[in-house]
Amino acid sequence: MTILIHGFRSSGQSRKAKLFREFFKKNNIPYIAPSLSYVPELAMATLEELIESYDEVNLIASSLGGYYALYLAEKYGLKTVLINPSIYPKETLKRHLSKAKTQYDGSFFEWKVSHLEMLEEFMPRKVLDSEYLMLLQKGDEVIDYREAMAKVSHATMIVEEGGTHQFDGIEQHFEQIIEFLYKG
């Protein structure tokens, strides 16, 4: 089972999640993209329950989902694809304190200091044991791609000029992602 972990303010119905869903369905590969709670402890509890309910799991994760995926990959020994992952979300998400708006349906939620503090619980102490493919775009306007390169330096990396935090043209890398997750 491949689990896609979305980023902050996103959902399992994002454009990226839908593109992956179509590709995995076309290739008859089990895939889910759950819409996770904005509360870090609840999101992580959901992900751990999903991981523990399948025999074989790998992860694809973007932004804040990448932060969660680093923790989970090391805990469970999972092959993981990171797409413009957040390495220090406590710093980057400070600007969203108070009301934040979801990208999926425009609903609002309250992002609190307590949520930032919850993120510390999931800071991966080491990032060495699992296999990673990391896709980075230098034009990411939210996260400095060099932080991810330093934290997960042993990953197989695809680093592109330009782009955005959403990772423009992700579908061009689907075959490489499948190769890494299932054939590598």
pLDDT average, residue stretch 62-75:
96
Check residue 56 and give its pLDDT: 95
- For residues 103 and 83, which has the higher predicted lDDT (pLDDT)? 83
What's the CA gap between 42 and 11, in Å, rounded? 14
- From residue 143, alpha-carbon distances to 27, 52, 91, 147 in Å are 32, 30, 10, 8
Q: In this model, does residue 183 exceed pLDDT 90?
A: no
What's the CA gap between 133 and 177, in Å, rounded? 8
Collect contacts of 24-32 with beta carbons under 8 A, ≥24 apart. Answer: 27/178, 29/2, 29/178, 29/182, 30/1, 30/2, 31/1, 31/2, 31/3, 31/4, 32/1, 32/2, 32/3, 32/4
Check residue 108 and give its pLDDT: 78
pLDDT band at 96 (very low <50, low <70, confident <90, very high): low
pLDDT average, residue stretch 130-158:
94
Domains defined for the chain, CATH in brackets:
2-183 (3.40.50.1820)
pLDDT in tens, 32-61: 999 999 999 999 999 999 999 999 999 999
pLDDT average, residue stretch 148-161:
95
User: How much is the mean pLDDT over the chain?
Assistant: 92
pLDDT average, residue stretch 9-19:
92
pLDDT band at 103 (very low <50, low <70, confident <90, very high): low
Q: In this model, does residue 184 exceed pLDDT 80?
A: no
pLDDT band at 93 (very low <50, low <70, confident <90, very high): confident
**pTM for the full predicted model:** 0.92
Q: In this model, does residue 127 exceed pLDDT 70?
A: yes
Is residue 28 helix, strand or coil?
A: coil
Name the residue among 165, 36, 161, 151 with its Cα closest to residue 87. 151
Q: In this model, does residue 104 exceed pLDDT 70?
A: no
Amino acid identity, residue 46? T
Check residue 105 and give its pLDDT: 73
pLDDT average, residue stretch 6-16:
91
